């Protein structure tokens, strides 16, 4: 810009300033106006920030709701899978025995014998004969405990199976009861108790049809406890010892999973 142009611009600004009226209401300094403008801008920025935070909070609440719904659906799916597994096992047992499982019924009413002329000597509870293996009482106790397990009442089911095994240690249902007792511990992630129970089944009932499943669960437990070597050893034994069984197929699936995981 030339010197002449500069003088003309300055003169125009001065003339314009003289032409505009100046009142006390508008006679504030430039610093005051800038300060007021900055406060307005700050207020607008704060309002925008609060609006964004409020929207983020609503989005977070929606995500939490969706997560809770998915968690509930997953738990329901897991429960249904457990019930289906228990039902399949019950049907397999019926096929193996060739008889339908007896329904849970109330204990039969016992009629007192007629009083003889010579009363019999009382029997001491300490020398009372033990329950007969395979009796209807044992079967009823087993079905009752299994029913509790199907309902997902795992601590109560464990108590019922423990009472049954204490009453009928060598009974016809002792091996199955031992297996399902181990399952109650496994489902509730009491892995040490489950491992001990499944090991007892393998040792005490080597001919039981539940042994392959028990050894499979032993392999699973070692996996859960990060004992990779023992898990692989037990699962490999299941595959080689029980070929063609469901337990062998599941064991092989877990071995492949371990290989993918680098275990």
Could you read off the pLDDT of 97-107 as tens digits, one per residue?
A: 554 444 433 33
DSSP string, 157-194: HHHHHHHHHHH-TTSTTHHHHHHHHHHHHHHTT-HHHH
243 vs 248: CA distance, rounded Å: 6
Pick the more confident residue, 121 or 176.
176
Domain ranges within the chain, ordered by starting residue: 54-88, 133-189, 209-263
pLDDT at residue 114 greater than cutoff 70: no
pLDDT of residue 137: 87
Which CATH superfamily includes the segment(s) 209-263? Tetratricopeptide repeat domain (1.25.40.10)
pLDDT of residue 85: 66
Give the angle subtended at the CA of 214 by the CAs of 210 and 218, to the nearest 5°: 175
Could you read off the pLDDT of 226-238 as tens digits, one per residue?
A: 999 999 999 999 9
Could you read off the pLDDT of 57-68 as tens digits, one per residue?
A: 777 767 766 676
Tell me whether domains 133-189 and 209-263 share a fold: yes
Give the angle subtended at the CA of 149 by the CAs of 146 and 153, to the nearest 5°: 145
pTM of the model: 0.52
The total of other beta-carbon atoms located within 10 Å of residue 167's CB is: 13
**R_g over Cα of the chain:** 40
CATH topology for the 133-189 domain: 1.25.40
């Amino acid at each position: 810009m030339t010197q002449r142009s500069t003088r003309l611009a300055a003169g125009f600004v001065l003339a314009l300033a003289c032409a505009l009226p100046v009142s006390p209401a508008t006679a504030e300094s430039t610093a005051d106006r800038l300060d007021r403008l900055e406060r307005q801008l700050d207020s607008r920025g704060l309002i925008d920030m609060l609006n964004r935070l409020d929207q983020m909070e609503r989005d977070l609440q929606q995500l939490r709701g969706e997560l809770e719904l998915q968690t509930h659906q997953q738990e329901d799916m897991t429960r249904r899978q457990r019930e289906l597994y228990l039902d399949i096992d019950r049907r397999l047992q019926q096929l193996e025995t060739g008889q339908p499982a007896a329904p849970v019924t109330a204990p039969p009413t016992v009629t007192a014998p007629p009083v003889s002329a010579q009363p019999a000597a009382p029997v001491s509870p300490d020398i009372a004969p033990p329950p007969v293996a395979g009796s209807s009482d044992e079967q009823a106790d087993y079905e009752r405990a299994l029913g509790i397990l199907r309902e997902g009442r795992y601590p109560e089911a464990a108590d019922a199976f423990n009472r049954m095994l204490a009453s009928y240690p060598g009974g016809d249902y002792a091996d199955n009861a031992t297996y399902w007792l181990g399952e109650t511990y496994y489902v509730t992630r009491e892995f040490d108790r489950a491992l001990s129970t499944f090991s007892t089944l393998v040792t005490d009932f080597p001919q039981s049809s539940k042994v392959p499943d028990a050894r499979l669960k032993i392999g699973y437990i070692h996996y859960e406890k990060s004992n990779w070597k023992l898990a692989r050893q037990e699962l490999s034994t299941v595959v080689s010892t029980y070929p063609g069984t469901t337990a062998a197929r599941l064991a092989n699936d877990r071995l492949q999973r371990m290989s993918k995981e680098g275990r």
